[in-house]
Chains A and B, each alone.
Chain A
Amino acid sequence: DTGVSQDPRHKITKRGQNVTFRCDPISEHNRLYWYRQTLGQGPEFLTYFQNEAQLEKSRLLSDRFSAERPKGSFSTLEIQRTEQGDSAMYLCASSGQSSNTIYFGEGSWLTVV
């Protein structure tokens, strides 16, 4: 039984560089979510996909952030021109059509130096 898989688990990048994170959801799940978590805080919702359609985006998702799910399976989250404030753990999660129970991956840690 494979859970939600995220890659890379850790990324250190210089300010101004672009980074991309990948998420592979649980195979039968058609809903996919991205959350962000900073130290000492709970996760914050960023965006939601149902199949390939991005149905909701948080105001936290600035213009430098873009998420895609081209074939309704895996998803990518790209951050352009990274800033130190982007340092956080980026969590992907998925759920099935008939349930609001979401299952999280292990997260991708981003450090911007």
Chain B
Amino acid sequence: DAKTTQPPSMDCAEGRAANLPCNHSTISGNEYVYWYRQIHSQGPQYIIHGLKNNETNEMASLIITEDRKSSTLILPHATLRDTAVYYCIVTEIYKYIFGTGTRLKVLA
């Protein structure tokens, strides 16, 4: 079973920040938090990952709480092309266990 809990769906207005939460209360010390997204009928796309510290790249920011029991993926200026299913995964090895993710719909 997936070690993460995500809301099944969210809406976001185009141009606004999309904040996608993820709970991982049983995360262990060596496990990273990974985020992927999947646009309809395509393979999952890597977004970002982190261990303890907040991370930022050209796609998104990842905020991990101090106790590491939850995290938030932030898409700073959502566009229609960000409409996708977003998966939060915690793992310390190569084997990912996906949940059902959050279906983000960006609205014009």
> A residues bordering B, Cβ < 8 Å?
4, 31, 33, 35, 40-45, 48, 56, 89, 91, 93, 95, 100-107, 109
Which of A4, A40, A56, A109 is the one whose CB lies under 8 Å from B95? A56
User: Please, which residues of chain A bring their CB within 8 A of the CB of B43?
Assistant: 4, 91, 93, 104-107
Q: Is the CB of B100 within 8 A of A48?
A: no
Q: Is the CB of B97 within 8 A of A45?
A: yes
Closest A-chain residue to B87, C-beta based?
A42
Q: Is the CB of B92 within 8 A of A100?
A: yes
Residue B105, interface by CB 8 Å: no
* 23 A-B contact pairs sorted by A residue (CB < 8 Å): A33-B94, A41-B98, A42-B98, A42-B99, A42-B100, A43-B44, A44-B98, A48-B94, A56-B95, A91-B44, A93-B43, A95-B94, A100-B91, A100-B93, A100-B94, A101-B46, A102-B94, A104-B45, A104-B46, A106-B42, A107-B41, A107-B42, A109-B41
Closest A-chain residue to B91, C-beta based?
A100
User: Please, which residues of chain A bring their CB within 8 A of the CB of B36?
Assistant: 104
What's the least CB distance linking A111 to chain B, in Å? Answer: 13
Bound-complex Cα distance A41 to B95 (A): 17
User: Please, what's the 1-or-0 string for B19-38, where 1 marks a CB less than 8 Å from any CB in chain A?
Assistant: 00000000000001010100
Bound-complex Cα distance A107 to B42 (A): 7
